[in-house]
A and B are shown apart, each in its own frame.
Chain A
Amino acid sequence: MSFVYAYQPLLDLLLINAGFALSQYVVLRAGVFSIATPGIVAIGAYTAAIMMARHGISIWGAAAAATAAGLIVGYALSIPLARLRGPYQAIATLAFVQFVIAFAFYAEPLTGGAPGIDNIPKQVSTLGLLCCVAATVYVLSSINQTRLGRIFDALRQDEAVAASLGISIWFHHALAFALSGAIGGLFGALQAGYVYAIEPQQYGFAMLTTTLAAVILGGRRSVWGPIAGAAIMTTLPELGRSLADNRLLVNGLLLTLIIIFLPRGLVDGLLFMRDRRNDRAARDQASLKIQKTAQP
């Protein structure tokens, strides 16, 4: 049991990072190159922190409000960004993240300025985090098992084809933005309710790269990809602690190796191999059936 207690903080951190990675994953899955997640996480975290620290509202209410705020902001972002694609989308959403951070710095009466907000009551448990990750995984795997998964796949691969088949690009991109926003807002609130204090800097470039790296490492197709990626990105710094200053070097090397040898990401790379095998089996079965029916 002592083992579990020793690693519980790490597990909690992993679950929070997994939530951020899942928020980033939804948009990439649908072919939207938005990196707005840190900005939306910040909005969720500040919403929850203000409600909890200043108005004594419980985490339940705060998390619900933060989720709703994330959903609305995510949807609102999709409107001006509908005409942008690829790197332009990335740059525009990066500007959004910078704007949110700047707002957090300068709107002192509301956000507490540079020192941020402290004295947030800690109301988030490991179990609570687990339940929220599980609920998110459920929703996202539901998407993968219904038509939305196929549509997101199509939008990611070639949106002109999707449009020519009568599928609305605008609607499904807005849906991805809104879902990403809701997930980001929720986990922003959970983080605020876990760490006692939040400040603007923590939603900056470092979070952006960690979150993006988690999805690229783990994979963009399966829900488990970003979770595996978040696990790697969370535990690597801990495992490499003894390497001291060489840590970043080892991190970088490992990431480079995965990207070279498993370009689809860890989970997707493995699933791709499995799918190939299943396809082959299904083919063999189909041709067997054809042979059988061909025989008199």
Chain B
Amino acid sequence: MTLDIRNVGRRFGGVRAAEAVSMTIEPGQIVGLIGPNGAGKSTLVNLITGVLRLDSGSVVVDGQDVSEETVVGVSRAGVSRTFQNIRLLRESTVLENVALSLSRFAQVSTLACVLGLPSARSEQRDIAARAMAFLEQIGMASFAHYRASELSYGHQRRVEIARAIAQRPKYILLDEPVAGMNDVEAAELGELLRTFAGEGIGILLIEHNMGFVYSLCSRIYVLSTGKILAEGAPADVSRNQLVIDAYLGA
């Protein structure tokens, strides 16, 4: 039961964006992925989630090979994500954003929706109620009826993560979740992530905020020019001379 990234490679022309990258994320684990700008971190997320095709290697979710799957297929296999630049449905409310995440579990047929049968209408009410319950659970119920565009930056980040988590993925890939947040907001988000990990969700955390990464992650991978430079416990990685030279600085 792991998310296995095995020898993943991808090149764009002469640029090797990912070269023999291997990583493992276990359920309930928060794993960090750090590295300088342009190291290929977001590219890696796009490779895992099927946005980009793999040139080589494979991605395996709990034994199921999803290397050839589309974005929809990878999501349905249980891998959620957030985006480096927040992508909420800005015209929609927070509740609608989260409810959207639950709509793929809908049982009622499309025809029933088109014909407006009572089963389809009650299902939609049920989805909205579940989305509301989830918002209550994570302490965001008071934002339910705000348009996403009306929220502060930090809250928009939380909504995006909540939307990805609401569909109970096995694994979630967070692309710079605390970028632009202040320390209080980051600490709150850290607590939330610990809760989700406690529920058995495996989290890959891509971040530049080293304090945040060290405080949450049990294991860290360092990516540089598309290759894994080092991996290990936060304390080991922070002392690794290669990592200091490539990323952390003296």
Contacts and interface: CB of A to CB of B under 8 A. Distances in A.
Interface of A: 138-139, 141-143, 145-148, 150-151, 153-154, 157-158, 160-169, 175, 179, 278-280, 282-283, 286-287, 290
26 contacts: A138-B116, A142-B115, A142-B120, A143-B113, A143-B116, A145-B116, A147-B106, A147-B120, A154-B89, A161-B87, A161-B89, A164-B75, A164-B164, A165-B80, A165-B100, A165-B101, A165-B103, A165-B163, A165-B164, A167-B72, A167-B104, A169-B72, A179-B114, A279-B145, A280-B145, A286-B145
B71 A164 contact: yes
A109 B76 CA distance: 52
Contacts of B193: none
B124 A146 contact: yes
Interface stretch (B4-12, B28-36, B90-98): B90-98
B147 to A, nearest CB: 7
B167 interface: yes
A143 B123 CA distance: 13
A161 B81 CA distance: 9
A180 to B, nearest CB: 13
A283 B146 contact: yes
On chain B, which size bracket covers the interface? 35 or more
B113 A148 contact: yes
A168 B72 contact: yes
A279 B112 CA distance: 29
Nearest to B160: A161
Contacts of B108: 146-147
Contacts of A142: 113-116, 120-121
A146 B142 contact: no
A165 B166 CA distance: 10
Given A164-B71, A286-B145, A147 B116 contact: no
Nearest to A284: B145
B143 to A, nearest CB: 9
Given A153-B89, A153-B92, A168-B72, A146 B123 contact: yes
The 10 A-B residue pairs with the shortest CB-CB distance, nearest first, are: A142-B116, A166-B75, A146-B113, A166-B104, A282-B145, A163-B71, A147-B103, A146-B120, A279-B145, A157-B89
A78 to B, nearest CB: 14
Given A166-B76, A283-B142, A286-B145, A154 B100 contact: yes
B18 interface: no
A150 B75 contact: no
B141 interface: yes
Contacts of A153: 89, 91-92, 96
Given A164-B49, A290-B142, A143 B114 contact: yes
Interface string B121-165: 101100100000000000001101111000000000000000110
A286 B142 contact: yes
Contacts of B93: 279
Given A166-B167, A179-B114, 12 more contacts: A142-B121, A148-B110, A150-B96, A154-B100, A160-B83, A164-B71, A164-B81, A165-B101, A278-B145, A279-B145, A283-B142, A286-B142
Q: Report which residue of B113, B120, B146, B164 has the largest number of chain A beta carbons within 10 angstroms of its beta carbon.
A: B113
B17 interface: no
A54 to B, nearest CB: 33
Given A143-B114, A166-B76, A151 B100 contact: yes
A166 B72 contact: yes
A158 B116 CA distance: 25
A157 B75 CA distance: 19
Nearest to A178: B114
A251 B141 CA distance: 47
Contacts of A154: 89, 92, 100
B204 interface: no
A150 B104 CA distance: 11
B25 interface: no
